[in-house]
DNA sequence: GTGTTTGCAAAGTGTTTGCAATTTA
DNA sequence: TAAATTGCAAACACTTTGCAAACAC
């Protein structure tokens, strides 16, 4: 099945999220959203931006990733207690995590079924279900 | 169903794992294994040890948690990119993570069924499947 | 006694923050 | 021009490490 994600120019996304489309945010948004689903750390995105001639500081990359996540443009994936990974795919889905290369690979939401979900502890509601399949070189 | 875990004195566990049963390791092992399943951060375990009159440094707690994990006595759970959680239950199971209290709660392995597991990417094998159900106060 | 482990303080890694300068609307 | 954003450097939280003293066998 081919998923067509509603195309949305990055500028629209930013303004819709209430974020001023500054030069840095536009450049980072293009890197994140204009080439399919991506999984990046702040350091990786910063390197890529700088490599593409975008002048942006690492601090701004961190702030931008956090703002994008808070606005729902990105999703944070907890796989490693050392660093944060940000996922440009915000739809329901899961991940393979290659422990050798430290790379994430999407698993579409309906490729995995989590059944018999126990009910949340008293006084709590379910906020999300993360499935991470850890793999390593065979 | 009541699960009886094969009882094993902490001293035996340590020597079986090839770790010298030092005063610090014995004390930490007792805190970790003598009262059911536990989920702790290094800081929490250190505080508890000190609170119980055990003289041990935070650095040793970190080293010990890592050694125990490497020996299979503990399992590390990645839920938060800030700190590491260690789980004294090494059997196959999953977790609720309360995002308000930052506490983990076990979900027994057979309470959740992950079906249709996609096969691992070429050249890799599955090493483990983590299911984390994030909850928050309702 | 010999090799292992500990504790301390220092260093390391990833991330956030204060604030003046710059940019956006 | 007023408010938001940036970049830098400093601060921060968590974790690891080097090394001398203490300990286990």
pLDDT surpassing 80 at residue B4: no
pLDDT tens for A9-61 read 889 999 999 999 999 999 999 999 998 889 999 999 999 999 999 999 999 99
Q: Residue A2's beta-bridge partner residues?
A: none
Q: Is the pLDDT of residue B8 over 80?
A: no
Q: What is the pLDDT of residue B23?
A: 97
Q: How far is B12 from chain A (nearest CA, A)?
A: 30
Strand C positions within 7 A of protein Cβ atoms? 4-10, 13-18, 23-25
pLDDT at B111 over 80: yes
Task: Please check the confidence at residue B24 and state whether its pLDDT lies above 90.
Answer: yes
Average pLDDT (A121-138) is 95
Asked if pLDDT for residue B81 goes beyond 60, the answer is: yes
Question: Would you list the domain boundaries of chain A?
Answer: 1-90, 91-138
Counting residues of chain B whose pLDDT is more than 90, the rounded percentage is 83
Which chain B residues 50-109 have CB under 7 A to strand C? 55-57, 59-60, 63-64, 81
Cβ B116 vs Cβ A108: under 8 Å: no
Q: How confident is the model at residue B31 (pLDDT cuts 50, 70, 90)?
A: very high
B43 near A CB under 8 A: no
User: Cβ of A138 under 8 Å from any chain B Cβ?
Assistant: yes
Taking alpha carbons only, the member of B19, B37, B20, B120 closest to residue B74 is B37
| pLDDT band at residue A103 using 50, 70 and 90 as cut-offs | very high
Q: Please say whether the beta carbons of A61 and A49 come within 8 A.
A: yes
pLDDT band of A5, cuts 50, 70, 90: low
| CB atoms inside a 10 Å sphere around CB B30 | 16
- A92 close to B (CB below 8 A): no
Is residue B63 scored above 70 in pLDDT? Answer: yes
Fold of A1-90: Arc Repressor Mutant, subunit A (1.10.10)
Q: What is the mean pLDDT of chain A?
A: 93
Q: How many CB atoms lie within 10 A of CB B81?
A: 17
Between CA A118 and C1' D17 the distance (Å) reads 43
Judging contacts by C-beta atoms under 8 Å, the chain A residues touching residue B115 are 112-115
Is A66 near chain B, with CB under 8 Å? Answer: no
Region A71-92 average pLDDT: 96
């Amino acid at each position: 099945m081919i998923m067509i994600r509603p195309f949305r120019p990055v500028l629209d996304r930013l303004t819709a999220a209430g974020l001023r489309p500054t030069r840095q945010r536009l450049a980072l948004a293009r890197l994140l959203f204009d080439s399919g689903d991506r999984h990046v750390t702040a350091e990786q995105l910063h390197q890529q931006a700088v490599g593409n001639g975008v002048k942006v500081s690492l601090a701004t990359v961190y702030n931008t990733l956090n703002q994008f996540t808070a606005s729902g443009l990105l999703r944070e994936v907890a796989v490693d207690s050392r660093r944060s990974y940000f996922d440009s795919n915000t739809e329901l889905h899961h991940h393979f995590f290659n422990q050798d290369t430290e790379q994430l690979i999407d698993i579409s939401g309906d490729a995995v079924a989590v059944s018999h979900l126990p009910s949340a502890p008293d006084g709590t509601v379910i906020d999300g279900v993360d499935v991470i399949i850890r793999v390593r070189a065979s």
